Amino acid sequence: MPAGTRTCPCCSCATFGTGGAESRHASVVSYAFLALLSCGLGLLSTATMAADARRTTFGTLSNGTSVEAAELSNATGIKVRIMTLGASIQSLLAPDRRGHIADIVLGFDSAQEYLQDNHYFGGTVGRFANRISKGRFTLDSHSFVLATNDHGNHLHGGKVGFNKVLWILRSVKSGAPAIATFSYVSPDGEEGYPGTLRVTATFSLDDKNTLQVEYTASTDRPTIVNISSHNYFQLGAGVAGASAMDDTLQILASRYTPVDAQLIPTGELRSVSGTPFDFLQPTAVGQRVRDGNDLQLRFGRGYDHNFALDGAGTALREAARIYSPGTGRILEILTAAPGLQFYSGNFLDSTTAGKQGALYREGDALVFEPQLFPDAPNKANFRSARLDPGRIYRNTIVYRFSTDNPVNFRQDANPREPTN
Ligand code: BGC
C-alpha cells in the first residue's frame, strides 16, 4: 500500500485515503453511494492489478558474453532482478516499515564477479543442492563419481554448478503475476551426473508481494536431482549497523539432521527440543549461535544444518518466518520440500567485497534453502532424490514479503502466524 493510503473501514479496500475517498466516507449518509462506488472501483482495480516484467541486460562477462536479466516489479516497491548467469537473483528491492526501499540480498554489482564467487550468492544451486558425501552414490547398482569441491565432498552441483552456467531467458511476461522463465540443459555426464537433465526455473511476482521460484526438471536416464535457491537475505538492509543476528526466526521443524565435522548428515533425525536448533517459537538467531557447548554449532561454525520440516508432504506449507526488528521487514517462506537448510552465513569472513564494495561478514545475512535432505542419495532413510525418465521433478519455493506496518505496505492481510 503506498504511503498515506489507508484501509477503507467499510470493506477494507486499499483505495481509502487516496483521491478524496476518505472525506466521502466521512459524510456517511449523503455520500454512501459514492463511497460504495469508490470501494467497488478499488476492488476492480485490485482484481486486475498486474506486476510488471521486462527484459534487460545485466552486463558482460570478461570473455564478451552478454548476461541478460529479467526484472519483475510491483506497485509496492518490490523489484527482483534475475540474471541468466546461474538463474541468480541478483537484487531484490523491498520496502521497510517506513516505506524505504533497499536491496535485501547480498551479491555483486557485475556479472563477472559472480563467476569467481564461491558463496553461491543468489544462485540456483544444482543438480544437487547441498552435500553428497565423497561425491559418490549408487543408482541401480551403478556407481557414480561426481566432481568434488568441498573437502573431498560434492557441494551444490560440483565445480561448475547451475549457479555458474548461462541459462536461457525463455520468456518475460507482465501480468498477475509477472513471470520470467529460464531454462538450462545439463548434458549427460556433467559434473559426473547421469542423464541429460532439462531444467526450467520460473520466477513470478504478484501485486501481493509474493515471489515464487519454481524449478522443474526431466531426464532421459535415471538420475538424482535436488535444486534450490541460495539467497542471502539481509532484512535489516538500509539501517546502519543492523545485524541478521538480531532477526527473529521461526522454523516449523521439530527435528533436524545432525552432521559430522565435514557437514555430512549422520543419518540421524534429532529432536530440536532443548537445543539451540529449536526455532519452533520465534527466537533471535544470535541468541544461541555462539553456544560452544553444542557440538553441532561447532561443526557448522554456527547454523549450517538441514531442518526436517513438520508435516512434510507434497503440499506447499509454511516453513519459516524471519522478522527484522530494526526495519520491520518480514519474510515468510513456504515450500513443499521436506527439508530447509538454514545457513547463518558463517563463512562470510570479510574477504569478499560485494555490492558497492561492502565487505561481507559473518552475521550479515541468512540463507534458507528448501530442499531434499543433504546426502539423500546415500541415506536410505531420507526421501529419495531419484528422478526417472517420464517423471517431472519440481521444487516450489514461495517468499512472502510484508512489514510490521501495514500502512506502508500493501498486502492481502496481516502476515499470518505460522501454525504447526
Ligand atoms: C552450505 C554451506 C556453504 C555455503 C556456501 C551453504 O548452502 O550449507 O556449508 O558453505 O552454502 O556458500
| Residue pLDDT, tens place only, 228-266 | 999 999 999 999 888 999 999 999 999 999 999 999 999
Ligand 1 atom with least separation from CA of 129? 7
Q: Which residue's CA is the nearest one to ligand 1's atom 10?
A: 347
Q: Which residue has the higher pLDDT, 35 or 260?
A: 260
Ligand 1 centre to CA of 51 (Å) is 32
Cell of 313: 508432504
How much is the pLDDT for 41? 38
| Measured distance CA(62)–CA(72) in Å, rounded | 27
Is the pLDDT confidence value at 419 over 60? no
Q: CB neighbours of 287 closer than 8 A, spacing ≥ 6?
A: none
Ligand 1 centre to CA of 158 (Å) is 12
Ligand 1 centre to CA of 343 (Å) is 7
Torsion-angle region of 34 (φ positive above 0: left; ψ -120 to 50: alpha; else: beta): alpha
Among 133, 156, 369, name the best residue to mutate to test ligand 1's pocket (greatest count of ligand atoms within 8 A of Cβ).
156
Ligand 1 centre to CA of 395 (Å) is 19
| Measured distance CA(377)–CA(280) in Å, rounded | 28
Residue 415: pLDDT band with limits 50, 70, 90: very low
Instruction: Answer whether the bond into residue 377 is a cis peptide, omega within 30°.
Output: no
Averaged over 334-355, what is the pLDDT? 97
Percent of residues, the chain, with pLDDT higher than 90:
83
Is the pLDDT confidence value at 416 over 90? no
How much is the pLDDT for 151? 97
DSSP code, position 20:
T
Catalytically annotated residues: 230, 369
Q: Which residue's CA is the nearest one to ligand 1's atom 5?
A: 119
Tell me how many helices (H) and strands (E) the chain has: 4, 30
**Max Cα–Cα distance, the chain, nearest Å:** 80
- Which domains does the chain show, CATH number per domain? 1-48 (no CATH), 52-408 (2.70.98.10)
- The winner for highest mean pLDDT among 6-10, 32-36, 51-55 is 51-55
The C-alpha angle with vertex 382 and arms to 378 and 387, in degrees rounded to 5, equals: 75
Closest CA to 82 of 183, 194, 199: 183
Closest CA to 399 of 331, 327, 298, 314: 331
How much is the pLDDT for 406? 73
Closest CA to 298 of 308, 288, 307, 306: 288
* Burial profile 178-196: b = 16 or more Cβ within 10 angstroms, e = fewer: bbbbbbbebeeebbbbbbb
How much is the pLDDT for 312? 82
Residues 379-392 pLDDT 10s: 999 999 999 999 99
Residue 49: pLDDT band with limits 50, 70, 90: confident
| Measured distance CA(21)–CA(241) in Å, rounded | 40
Ligand 1 centre to CA of 310 (Å) is 23
How much is the pLDDT for 9? 30
**What's the predicted TM-score (pTM) here?**
0.87
Ligand 1 atom with least separation from CA of 120? 12
How much is the pLDDT for 314? 80
Q: Which residue's CA is the nearest one to ligand 1's atom 6?
A: 343
Residue 31: pLDDT band with limits 50, 70, 90: very low
Residues lining ligand 1, CB < 6 A? 119-120, 263, 304, 341, 343, 347, 367, 369
- Which phi and psi angles does 35 have, rounded to 5°? -65, -45
How much is the pLDDT for 217? 98
CB 365 within 8 A of CB 232: yes
Among 133, 304, 341, 362, name the best residue to mutate to test ligand 1's pocket (greatest count of ligand atoms within 8 A of Cβ).
304
Q: Which residue's CA is the nearest one to ligand 1's atom 9?
A: 304
Is the pLDDT confidence value at 98 over 50? yes
How much is the pLDDT for 385? 98
Residue given cell 501495514 in the structure block = 406
Ligand 1 atom with least separation from CA of 119? 12
Cell of 114: 559472480
Averaged over 137-148, what is the pLDDT? 98
How much is the pLDDT for 7? 33
| Measured distance CA(343)–CA(232) in Å, rounded | 9
Is the pLDDT confidence value at 345 over 70? yes
